[in-house]
Homo-oligomer: A and B are copies of this chain.
Amino acid sequence: MPVNLPLPDVATLFPIAGVRIGVTEAGVRKVGRKDLTVVLLDEGASVSGVFTSNRFCAAPVQLCREHLASGQSMRAMLINTGNANAGTGADGLARAQSTCVALAGKLGIAAQQVLPFSTGVIMEPLPIDRIEAGLDAAIADARLDNWLKAAEGIMTTDTQPKAYGAQITMGGKQISVSGISKGAGMIRPNMATMLGFIATDACVSQAVMHELSLALAEGSFNRVTVDGDTSTNDSLVVIASNKAGNPEITSLQSTDGQALKAAMLGVARQLAQAIVRDGEGATKFITVQVEGGRTAEECRKVAYAIAHSPLVKTAFYASDPNLGRILAAVGYAGIDDLDQTGIELYLDDVYVATRGGRNPGYREEDGQRVMKQSEITVRVGLGRGAATETVWTCDFSHEYVTINADYRS
């Protein structure tokens, strides 16, 4: 059961002119499930991507990087579930390449104009025959209003599709943003077993797309964690189809640039938080906010130490205000000169610890009350500077173990 995660509201999933999506059942790993998605882009779209920091990155990630660096314009994306095509060596690269060639042939474009994405089990050969056999059906299904179906088509252990949209007005023109994501385990900053696709019809110069995709990743997908495992396949792709007729955005610092970035970041953050809300076995959604650091980096270290601690996460699961575990995580986060007497800890509005010790006014029943909620904010003050960072995570339950002990069976 995801934590406070409503099903996508189709009324807010806006068609993006120039971006058509088709989904089919190719039987990649199991029959009878949507597992193959194509995204077809009209000529002239601006596209950029951010990919996993995992050095063991999957074959499709390697190809995406190559294709985006080629200087060619991107015209299609090909996404399969059921198989991650990671840990597959040279053969895996050849297989990913083969699927790009096959799709490019059917569309009359170059293979380098296709971005491939795979998610699922690692270290098994990609079944290219089944994928290539499914291409015609996926292409035939391509429509502007297929965002929800695409969100379903990229799910793996997700229990719900994840899709959000937004609209803004810019210079008299209506601008739409729609996005989908998937991911539920192997989720950690930089980025997650996570796929995210966010498209807008706004006119955006290719020159600012890299900065835009980085900003969206940093403000959303790079701030969520479920289990601390960074996947081999994480990919966030940002598309501007350049159809809306607004004056082209050539700087993110411009008024229009800031407005578009804010709208897209809102969608990206919802998509990223949805992954945590649907985290494997999650029963609670936890916001970890670290303030008073000297640098943003040390705030992130502390926030992730808390967000990754199995002891903290099981305490949340148990609704047990065993808050010393949070302080212990602060202590081992890796700030070598941290002075524990400067540490403050709040649980929502409850003031738990001060100067590194229990706040005299703290009462266990207040901590208990907050711990029972399904949404909890942990706020840590480091007392050594002005930097602040926020990450989002979930608790750690029996169900997590069950899901991951059974994933392949």
Contacts and interface: CB of A to CB of B under 8 A. Distances in A.
Interface string A346-364: 0000000111111000000
A56 B87 contact: no
A407 B322 contact: yes
A252 interface: no
A229 B320 contact: no
26 contacts: A54-B328, A54-B332, A56-B332, A87-B324, A89-B354, A89-B357, A89-B358, A121-B322, A122-B327, A122-B328, A123-B324, A123-B357, A125-B358, A185-B311, A186-B311, A229-B310, A231-B328, A232-B324, A232-B327, A232-B331, A310-B400, A314-B400, A314-B401, A314-B404, A320-B407, A398-B398
A338 B55 CA distance: 6
Contacts of A318: 404-406
A343 B56 CA distance: 9
B404 A310 contact: yes
Nearest to A190: B332
Given A318-B405, A328-B54, A87 B310 contact: no
Given A186-B325, A228-B310, A229-B325, 11 more contacts: A56-B332, A56-B338, A56-B343, A56-B356, A87-B324, A89-B358, A92-B357, A123-B358, A229-B309, A229-B311, A322-B408
A235 interface: no
The 4 closest A-B pairs by CB, nearest first: A89-B357, A122-B324, A56-B331, A318-B405
A115 interface: no
A396 interface: yes
A296 interface: no
Nearest to A188: B332
A54 B320 CA distance: 23
Contact of A88 (B55, B92, B325, B358): B358
Interface in A196-238: 227-232
Interface string A46-82: 0000000111110000000000000000000000000
Contacts of A323: 87, 123
Interface string A324-343: 11011111100110111101
A253 interface: no
Contacts of A322: 121-122, 407-408
B308 A228 contact: yes
Contacts of A260: none
A401 B404 contact: no
Contacts of A92: 357
Contacts of A340: 55-57
